[in-house]
Amino acid sequence: QAVVTQEPSLTVSPGGTVTLTCDSSIGAVTDGHYPYWFQQKPGQAPRTLIFDTSHKHPWTPARFSGSLLGDKAALTLSGAQPEDEADYYCLLSYTGARPVFGGGTKLTVL
């Protein structure tokens, strides 16, 4: 089974920009992996921010964007706010529609 890797932790200054990445152990990440990004705050269920690489839900703040960056999926936060401090997970779908989550990135806004 594929392993999906994310940065364990990142720090961003308020108002700053940070990029989180999502890597696959089996080749480059492409649109065919339908990358998703989720935000999870302590004690809460995850919330879906991005689907299919770059598509946003109505509730996704405009400061979040998804893309492919080199061989990885990426989530960019531009203009970080204190409320963006959370855990972020990516999800990639592999052959046979079997999604695999990344280990998560703990984002600190400081």
Partner 1 sequence: QVQVQESGPGLVKPSETLSLTCTVSDYSISNSDHHWGWIRQSPGKGLEWIATIYYTGKTYYNPSLKSRVTISLDTSKNQFSLKLSSMTAADTAVYYCARFLGPTGPDYWGPGTLVTVSS
Binding-site ranges for partner 1 (CB under 8 A): 1, 34, 36, 38, 45-48, 51-52, 57, 89, 91, 93, 96-104
Give the nearer residue to partner 1 in terms of CB position, either 10 or 78.
10
Q: How far is the CB of 33 from partner 1 (least distance, A)?
A: 8
Within its chain, how far is the Cα of 109 from the centroid? 16
Q: Cβ closer to partner 1: 62 or 97?
A: 97
Q: 1 or 82: whose CB is closer to partner 1? A: 1
Q: How near is the Cβ of 47 to partner 1 at its closest, in Å?
A: 7
